[in-house]
Amino acid sequence: MDRLIIQGGTTLRGELRASGAKNSALMMFPAALLADEPVTISNVPHLRDITTMIELLGSLGVEVVIDEKMNVEIHANTIKQFRAPYDLVKTMRASFNVLGPMLAHYGHAEVSLPGGCAIGPRPVDQHLRGLAALGAQIEMDDGYVKARVQGRLKGAHIFFDVSTVGGTEHIMMTATLAEGETVLENCAREPEIIDLADCLNAMGAQVSGAGTDTITIQGVESLHGASHRVIADRVEAGTYLIAAAATGGRIRMRDANPDHLEVLITKLREAGAEIETGENWIELDMHGERPKAVSLVTAPYPAFPTDLQAQIIALDCIAEGTGTIKETIFENRFMHVHEMNRMGARIRLEGNNTTAIVEGVRKLKGAPVMANDLRASVSLVIAGLIAEGTTVVDRIYHIDRGYEQVEEKLKNLGANIQRVAEP
């Protein structure tokens, strides 16, 4: 198992290209199961979660061809199995979303209940209610969801009880092959949902309203092949912007959409950053200054994303003043706090561990720390970058799920960081 060793105290400066959005690409792979012809997805990041999804499709007999530029061509018509096994689905929640496309295209599917990061309950009840509303017959058996339909699924009017990104994506793609019109209300509005809708429409679907709280799908009899380029990963871009700000540095993120990061840009300006933007780039400059503490509340898009909460806490640790960070999306998402306190941070949790009060200190001190989930992992890397001395981050397989070549990108910005295998 690998670990990262970081010598802190360097200022990040330079230019990076944002990778393709993991959360977009992961949904386009199941979407390709709806098509009768090959679907090609480009700008796919080289990540562990992507590899897991490709392995899952392979276990179903789906032919997947990958070139040296990570263009992924998916041939759904080679499918031989309709049971997604526990050993793959348990490692990544997104893999559950193969259920609806297989059901819509082939009339039946069996998928294990999902796994993923240990950040609190993330039930699939909204997914199952939506599939049932479309006419699926669903039963649970030995940890598997078994779904069937006689003939085609039927369009329906579905209201999500909560704003669910995965649920919105799952039912939206499944409904493309349903007979008639489907209207989804209280939908999540993330850019990745718009990206998926664009991909589906390129395949011949008729999806409108993605990016709003109401999405309408006019069902079609079949979908054809298409090519689609994945949007930039806003969370990855945001992470490097925060890291540069925390170190007092300067960074230019290429291939990053500033419209997807408006709320983060606002908070970084509050922290003292000078930020300029263009159509597909973001430039941040702290002019060597210590950041000012920021306060925020996480909430569904377009509010501040929960996936950048841990990184902002790392910045607040050494900021001037005190920041209050309230988490409203997931339980157990402050597991990084205890590790940061071991490095000399002053963070206390209040409100049944839903709010972190971060009192900025001038310096953190390097220490051995352990990652617990994807975003907590990278926040500990940021803490290591701003700490005095050596920080060792263990269990970095979490980072590899969502950040492409994280140590190489940070080295390009001047960080003293290396990956080593555990003895």
Measured between alpha carbons, how far is 145 from 103 in angstroms, rounded to an integer?
Answer: 11
Angle between the N-to-C axes of helices 22-31 and 48-59, in degrees from 0 to 180, rounded to the nearest 10: 10
CA neighbours within 13 Å on the CB side: how many for 421? 1
What DSSP character marks residue 113?
Answer: P
Of the candidates 347, 395, 389, which has an alpha carbon nearest to the alpha carbon of residue 370? Answer: 395
Is 117 catalytic? The answer is: yes
Q: Is the peptide bond before 302 cis (omega within 30 degrees of 0)?
A: yes
Taking each continuous run of H as one helix and of E as one strand, the counts in the chain are 14, 26
Of the candidates 22, 62, 65, 64, which has an alpha carbon nearest to the alpha carbon of residue 44? Answer: 22
Measured between alpha carbons, how far is 25 from 231 in angstroms, rounded to an integer?
Answer: 9
The amino acid sitting at 301 is: Y
117, 187, 199, 317: the active-site residue: 117
Answer whether 387's CB lies under 8 Å from 8's CB: yes
Query: Can you say whether residue 189 is alpha, beta or left, with left for phi > 0 and alpha for psi between -120 and 50 degrees?
Result: alpha
Pairing of strands 83-84, 137-141: unpaired
Which tokens hold the place of 252?
């230019």
Query: Which contiguous run of DSSP H or E holds residue 64?
Result: strand 63-66
Of the candidates 171, 169, 174, 178, which has an alpha carbon nearest to the alpha carbon of residue 219? Answer: 178
Sign of the torsion formed by the C-alpha atoms of 187, 192, 197 and 200: negative
Spatial CB neighbours of 267, under 8 Å, sequence gap ≥ 6: 294, 296, 304, 312
Report the catalytic residues.
117
